[in-house]
Structure 1
Amino acid sequence: MNQQAGRLAERAQLVGGNRMELLLFHLKGRQSYGINVFKVKEILPCPVLNSLPQHNPIVRGVANIRGETISVIDLSQAIGMGALPDTRENVVIVTEYNRVTQGFLVSKVDKIVNLNWKDVHPPPPATGKDNYLTAVTELNNTMIEIIDVEKVISEVHPVNERISKGVVDDTLKLVASTYNVVVVDDSSVARNQVIRCLEEVGVQTIGLENGKEVLTFLEALVESGKDVNDEILMIISDIEMPEMDGYTLTTELRAHPELNQLDILLHTSLSGIFNEAMVKRVGADDFLAKYDADELARKVVNRIKAIEDQHIEPV
């Protein structure tokens, strides 16, 4: 096993145990910020940036990195703190989100820490709905803020949330309105993208922020005497979430006698063989990398058709 494969195996153990590795960095001042290491491809001193005409002001420029041209976003400016000064110390964190390689300019990178997702919490209500945080945690009496990178990227590279003509027909839309889908994602932007897509399909949606909320919601349905399999068509879940990640949620549901038949689609900006392996390991039904509205809609449509076909009595 080579070094890269060994590192991948170590990370699989982390995620499967409701754990994560967080890369800590700074923008301005002493406040620490974090980004999941799984999203990071490499870290390098800021290369020469070439400006683009009529570009979004938070994009400092584009750089050629290992033969690939990528845009570099000033993360400080993106979250409303003002642009970082031009210094030789600035660093670019090269990431992959939603199938796109993207660079983030920061002032310096600190270290990587290992955390349990249960110690990572949603931002306090006082931060307001327009903040750029998905979560906060504390390490050695220091508050760490985890930035909603998907929100930042959506403002620079908006995704197409509309479903193409022909993906959903009118007949299926009528049937779809009788089904409920649970959508769980800690990023409000990503969660609402999915909900808007599903509204076009025609299903009813229930939006929640993390795996813990989903488990509580479903257990309450069971306690009320309802058959969850009749109430819920499927669960579309992000993987990286505070308090309980998508992998752990799936494991918990598969171990629950009343919830273990629910259809679970893991929908995440993480991608690759690693995730497909983890899907099989924790028992999810499917995996889809963000974000393609047609692909997502087809997953839901196929699930509805499978259920409807079960209801057709043989002649």
Structure 2
Amino acid sequence: MSGILDSVNQRTQLVGQNRLELLTFKLNRRQRYGINVFKVKEVLQCPKLTAMPNLHPLVKGIAHIRGQTISVIDMSLATGGRPIENTENCFVIISEFNRSVQGFLVSAVERIINMNWEDILPPPKGAGTGNYLTAVTEIDGELVEILDVEKILDEISPRHTEVSQTLRDEMIRDNPVTRRVLVADDSSVARKQVQRAIESIGCECILVKDGKEALTKLREMATEDSIYNQLDLVISDIEMPEMDGYTLTAAIRNDAKLKDLHVILHTSLSGVFNQAMVDRVGANAFIPKFNPDELGAAVKAAMPE
């Protein structure tokens, strides 16, 4: 376990290289799962959990960790499995998503694996819309499922996605022409959140599932007409299968037909390293998920006068 924690503390060096470190774990079953180490603050033996009235059914209990009160989510139950009953030998992955900290109760934590985003693939097409996968990969001949944590969290505590009426009125007043925005995000929940916010301020959305699909779409559009006649803005997640948002932004800046597109990186990642990477790859802005007014204001600022 100490080796895992040491690796967590050294994780930032991979940012911007289209690489990630994947922490693998198991629930009640043999299947292996993964979570990007960038979102992991700490891994610890499951502490004493306190049951409280009116907790969401997926929340196993509340833990007091380093001066913070944290909800601990039963990841087996959250993904459609049977609940984890005996927590004595289990672990909690403390994670930060979308400006909030929560714990994920898992049966076992295995190891951290250094990988390339190109080896992280979208879920199989037959997986359906009700699954909790955002990506899959293969490690040691076994399929590892990467969970759509944003979908799980949205079921427990749905996020407000409406832009304020004041900002909607300003956007429609200042931009009477419908603007087009390309949104790249591997989480179906995150795509819908962004779409609702952006469409509420009078923009039209083109939705894609990862950086590779976004770049392909942009280049296809640029062969038909100037991209600037078709699109006003790109909003991209950072963590995505096959091509991350940093690599996508760098590719846009290096393409003569796309290089002047306005790019906003919109991600559940947080930390001081982000602004340095935003500057390095040439993104115009970085916004942590998910505040609809912040996103709407960034879109408004990106639009030409």
Matched, 1:275 2:277: no
How far residue 171 of structure 1 moved from its aligned partner, in angstroms, is 6.7
**1:291 matched residue in structure 2:** 290
How far residue 280 of structure 1 moved from its aligned partner, in angstroms, is 0.6
**2:3 matched residue in structure 1:** none
Q: What aligned pairs does 1:62-101 form with structure 2 within 5 A after superposition?
A: 62-101=62-101
Superposition TM-score, scaled by structure 2 size: 0.95
How far residue 7 of structure 1 moved from its aligned partner, in angstroms, is 7.8
1:278 aligned partner, one-letter code:
M
Measure, in 2, the Cα distance between the counterparts of 1:12 and 1:120.
19
**1:214 matched residue in structure 2:** 214
Superposition TM-score, scaled by structure 1 size: 0.92
Unaligned 5+ segments in structure 2 are 1-5
- Report the secondary structure of 1:167's partner residue: helix
CA contact (8 A) 1:137 1:143 kept: yes
- Report the secondary structure of 1:253's partner residue: helix
Measure, in 2, the Cα distance between the counterparts of 1:7 and 1:234.
36
Matched, 1:127 2:127: yes
**2:141 matched residue in structure 1:** 141
2:257 aligned partner, one-letter code:
E
CA contact (8 A) 1:98 1:269 kept: yes
Alignment RMSD, CA only?
1.7
Q: What aligned pairs does 1:20-39 form with structure 2 within 5 A after superposition?
A: 20-39=20-39
Matched, 1:246 2:245: yes
**2:167 matched residue in structure 1:** 167
Unaligned 5+ segments in structure 1 are 1-5, 309-315
> Cα distance 1:171–1:189, how it changes in 2: closer, same or farther (>3 A)?
closer
How far residue 10 of structure 1 moved from its aligned partner, in angstroms, is 6.2
- Report the secondary structure of 1:168's partner residue: helix
**1:178 matched residue in structure 2:** 178
Q: Could you report, residue by residue, the CA deviation over 1:53-90 in whole angstroms, capped at 9, with x for unpaired residues?
A: 12111100111000000100000000111201213111
CA contact (8 A) 2:8 2:40 kept: no
CA contact (8 A) 1:176 1:201 kept: no
Measure, in 2, the Cα distance between the counterparts of 1:261 and 1:9.
36
CA contact (8 A) 1:77 1:83 kept: yes
- Report the secondary structure of 2:158's partner residue: coil
Q: Which segment drifts farther, 179-188 or 7-16?
A: 7-16
Measure, in 2, the Cα distance between the counterparts of 1:35 and 1:176.
42
Q: What aligned pairs does 1:9-28 form with structure 2 within 5 A after superposition?
A: 11-28=11-28
**2:51 matched residue in structure 1:** 51
Measure, in 1, the Cα distance between the counterparts of 2:273 and 2:152.
25
Q: Could you report, residue by residue, the CA deviation over 1:98-147 in whole angstroms, capped at 9, with x for unpaired residues?
A: 00001000001000001111111100011111100000000111110000
Q: Could you report, residue by residue, the CA deviation over 1:21-43 in whole angstroms, capped at 9, with x for unpaired residues?
A: 00000002221100000000000
Q: Could you report, residue by residue, the CA deviation over 1:149-193 in whole angstroms, capped at 9, with x for unpaired residues?
A: 000011112111111231121672583552100011000001100
CA contact (8 A) 2:8 2:42 kept: no
Measure, in 1, the Cα distance between the counterparts of 2:77 and 2:8.
33
Matched, 1:117 2:117: yes
- Report the secondary structure of 1:24's partner residue: strand
Measure, in 1, the Cα distance between the counterparts of 2:178 and 2:121.
34
> Cα distance 1:84–1:279, how it changes in 2: closer, same or farther (>3 A)?
same
Q: Give the % identical residues.
A: 49
Alignment size in residue pairs = 300
Q: Which segment drifts farther, 281-290 or 295-304?
A: 295-304
Q: Which segment drifts farther, 165-174 or 72-81?
A: 165-174
